[in-house]
Amino acid sequence: MSDEQETMSELEKLEAHARSMGGPEKLARRREAGLLNARERVDYILDKESFLEVGLLGTSSVVPEDRDKTPADGKVTGYGLLDGRQIGIVSNDFTVKGASSSLTNMKKIGHVKRVATERGMPLVFLGESSGARMPDNMGSKGMGAMLGNDPTQYVRFRETPWASAVLGPCYGSSAWYTCLSDFTVMRKGAVLAVASPQLASMAIGEAVDPQELGGWELHAETTGLIDTFAETDEEALDLIRRFMSYMPAHNRETPPVMPASEKSGDALSKIVPENRKRVYDVHRVLDQVLDDDSVFELKAKFGRVAVTALARLNGRVVGVVANNPMVKGGALDAHACEKITSFLVLCDSFNIPLLMFVDTPGFIIGKEGERQRAAAKIMNFMTALQMFSMPKLSVIMRKSYGQAYLNMGGGRNTDEVLAWPSAEVSFMDPTYATRVVLWGRSEEDSPEEFAEVREKMSKDNAVWDMASSFAVQHVIRPEDTRSNLIRLLSFHEDRRTAGIGKHAMANWPTGY
Amino acid sequence: MARMEVKSEVTGTVWKIEKAVGDKVAEYDDIMILESMKMEIPAPAPADGTVVEIMVAEGVAVEEGQVLAIVET
C-alpha cells in the first residue's frame, strides 16, 4: 500500500468512527425508545443530502484516553438547507458522554454560531445534553481553560433567527441555548432545567421528579420558556421548520411571501356576542381574518388571556396579538404581558408588521398580579410597543379600557386604529365608574341617579366620539376587517427602508 | 372513575350556578358562571361526567385556583 493509500484509509477509518456516535448498543436503545439519534435528526430536518458537516473529526482534546471514545466530540455541527434556505445547525449527540460540553465541541458550536450570525443564516439548535464534561472542567485549571473563554457566548443581538428543540435532558449549555432562542419546541418527556434532577436532589436533599423539575407542562403553562411542544422528535423538528417559514434568513431582509388565500371573512359579524359581558374565543376571529391555515400560535398555554401568533395576511407574514375573552374575560395579566413583550421583540427584530385585535376589560387587578410585578410587566409591554418600528395596526372589536387601551394600540400606539361599531372605550367600565363618581352614596338609596349616570357613561363609551375626534381612523363593518387590513398594511409598507425595521429591542432579553 | 376538580381561573364572584349535584355534563359544559372584571367567566366541565360536588354558592367570592366543583368521570 502506498503512503497516499494509507493516509486515505486512515481518513476513511476516522470518518467512519466519527459517524458511529456512541456505538450500536446505545443507538439501538434509542431506536427502541422511538428517539432519533443526533445524525438522524439533522437528516430529518434538513433538505435531502444537504448537510455539510464542520469538525467531523473533532474529539476530546483534554483527556488523552477519551480521544477514541468521543466521536465528533458529542456535538454534530455544520451547515445545510432547510426548505431551500441555508442555515447553521448544532445537534447534540447524547450517546457520546451525554453530549457534555468540552473544549473541542464548544469551539465547534461557537464556530457555527459565529458563521451563521456574521453571514446571515438562521441557526437551529437541537438540545439534549447533560452539562459540562467531567472531569475535564474540574478544578481551577479546568475552569480556567474550559468554560466560557468567549465573551460573546451568551449575547443575542438577533442578527439572525434562532430556533431550538428540547429533545431530551437539557441541562447546562442546552438549557442556555434554548433560553437564548427566538423559538423553542419541547418534546414531551424531555426535561429543561439548570441542572439534572439527580444533582438537584443531591444539592437540596430531597427527591426531585424530572417532569416536575422541568417537564413540558411546567414550561408550557407556568414558566412560558417554551413556545410549543410535540409528541415525537419528528413533530418537534417539523415545528422548527414551520417557525422558520415565517422568518427572514436575517434581520436585513423581510420574511418570505407565500401565495395568498382567497377568502372574505364574512362570518366575522356573528362571532362577537351582542351582550357585552359574554365571552367568545378570539381564535375564531383570527381564522376569519388571516390566511387559511396560517395561524401559528406561540406559547398557547401560557398567559392564555392573550393570543400571540405568527400568521399570514394576503401571503405576507404578520405578528398577531389578540385578547381572548374566553379566558378570564380577556383581562390582561402579568404572564400575558411577558408573552406579548417577548413576541413584540421577536416581530420587530425580524421585520414583521403587527396586528392587534382588542377586546379587553383591562388589566386584572388584585394581590396576585401585584406579587407578579404586574405594574412593571405592563410597562415592559408598553415600552416594547412604542419601540416597535414596523407597521402596526389595531382593531377594537369590543372593549378597550384604561391603560390596556394604550397597551393594545390606542392613543397613537399603533399607526392606525380601526374600530367595529360594537367598540366601547373608556377609562373604566361604567359599572365601576358610576360607583367612583357617586362615591359615598349607596345604589339602594338612589337607584335612579345610579341608573342615569351609568346609562350616560355607557352611551359616552360608544365609538362615535372617538371617530369624531380622530382617535380612531376607521370605523368598519366586522366583515370588512380582512380587506381593510390588507389595504392599510400595503399603504404602510416602509418604502424608504424596503421594510427593514429599526430593531431597537434586538438586544433585549430572550426571557422575561 | 376519576374525580376531577373544576377550578376558578379568576378571583371574582360566583354569579350563576347552572348545574346541580347529580347532573350529567359533557366536557366544556358550563357548570357555573363567575363574574370578574365585569365579565361573565364560565367555569366549564374538564371532561364528560357527573357533577358530584359543588363547593360554592351564588354570590360568594372565590380566589383564583379555588376548587368550585367536582366532576366524576
Q: What is the count of residue pairs from A and B with beta carbons less than 8 Å apart?
A: 43
DSSP 8-class letter at A332: B
Minimum-distance CB partner of B37 among A278, A329, A368: A329
Contact A328 B37 (CB under 8 A): yes
C-alpha to C-alpha distances, A41 to A36, A104, A105, A124, nearest whole angstrom:
6, 21, 18, 11
CA B23 to CA B32: how far, in whole Å? Answer: 13
Give contacts of B9 with chain A, Cβ < 8 Å: 327-328
Nearest to B11 among A277, A330, A368 (CB): A368
Residues in chain A closer than 8 A to B15 (CB atoms): none
Q: Do B37 and A361 touch (CB under 8 A)?
A: yes
Distance CA(B5)–CA(B56), nearest Å, equals 13
Residue A200 corresponds to which amino acid? A
**Residue of A272, A277, A282 to mutate, interface with B, max B Cβ within 10 Å:** A277
Radius of gyration of chain A from Cα atoms?
Answer: 26
Q: What is the pLDDT of residue A199?
A: 85
> How far away is chain A from the Cα of B46, in angstroms, using its nearest Cα?
14
Residues near A252 by beta carbon (within 8 Å), at least 6 away in sequence: A120, A500
Cell numbers representing residue B12 in the block: 371574582
Contact A393, A415 (CB under 8 A): yes
Nearest alpha-carbon partner for A402 in A382, A429, A384, A381: A429
What are the chain B neighbours of A429 within 8 Å (beta carbons)? 37-38
Q: Model's pTM, two decimal places?
A: 0.93
Q: What are phi and psi of A381, to 5 degrees?
A: -60, -45
Q: Using the beta-carbon criterion (under 8 Å), do A429 and B41 form an inter-chain contact?
A: no
| Distance between CA atoms of residues A484 and A103, nearest Å | 56
Q: Do A328 and B36 touch (CB under 8 A)?
A: yes
Q: How far apart are the CA of A231 and the nearest CA of chain B, in angstroms? A: 22
CB-nearest partner of A277 from B9, B39, B64: B39
ipTM for this prediction: 0.75
Q: How would you classify residue A49: left for phi > 0, otherwise alpha for psi between -120 and 50, otherwise beta?
A: left
Burial A275-291 (b: 16+ CB within 10 A, else e): ebbebbebbebbbbbbb
Question: Quick check: B64 contacting A, CB < 8 Å?
Answer: yes
**On the CB side of A282, how many CA atoms lie within 13 Å of its CA?**
29
Which residues, at least 6 apart from A234, have a Cβ–Cβ distance to it below 8 Å? A36, A44
Q: Which of the residues A275, A282, A328, A333 would you substitute to probe the B interface, choosing the one with the greatest number of B C-beta atoms within 10 Å?
A: A328
- The pLDDT value given to residue A168: 96
Q: Do B11 and A325 touch (CB under 8 A)?
A: no
Q: What is the CA angle A120-A254-A486, rounded to 5?
A: 165
Of A325, A330, A366, the CB nearest to B11: A366
- CA A484-A280-A336 angle, to 5 degrees, is 85
> Do B36 and A329 make contact, defined as CB atoms within 8 angstroms?
yes
Contact at 8 Å (CB) between A388 and A344?
yes
Average pLDDT, chain B: 93
Locate A297 and state its grid cell: 400560535
pLDDT on residue A1: 59
Does the distance separating the beta carbons of A279 and B41 come in below 8 Å? yes
**Among the partner residues B11, B39, B64, nearest to A279 by beta-carbon distance:** B39
- For residue A137, the model assigns a pLDDT of 83
C-alpha A432, offset from chain centre: 36
In sequence order, which residues have a C-beta less than 8 Å from that of residue A28 and are 6 or more positions away?
none
CB–CB contact B9 A328 (8 Å): yes
Instruction: Find the residue in A nearest to B64 (Cα).
Output: A368
What residues of chain B lie within 8 A of the CB of A362, using their CB?
37
3-state SS, one letter per residue, for A125-156: EEEEECCECCCCCCHHHHHHHCCCCCCCCCCC
**How many angstroms separate the CA of residue A363 from the nearest CA in chain B?**
9
Looking up cell 480556567 gives A144
Residues of chain A with pLDDT under 50: none
For residue A321, which of A330, A311, A309, A312 has the smallest C-alpha distance?
A309
Interface test mutation site (partner A, options B37, B62, B63, B64, max chain A beta carbons within 10 A): B37
pLDDT of residue A438: 87
Check A432 against B42: CB less than 8 A apart: no
**Chain A nearest C-alpha distance from B8 (Å):** 9
Q: How far is A90 from chain B (nearest CA, A)?
A: 40
B9 touches chain A (CB under 8 A): yes
The residue among B24 and A3 whose pLDDT is bigger is: B24
Residue A22: other Cβ atoms inside 10 A: 22
Terminal alpha carbon distance of chain A: 62
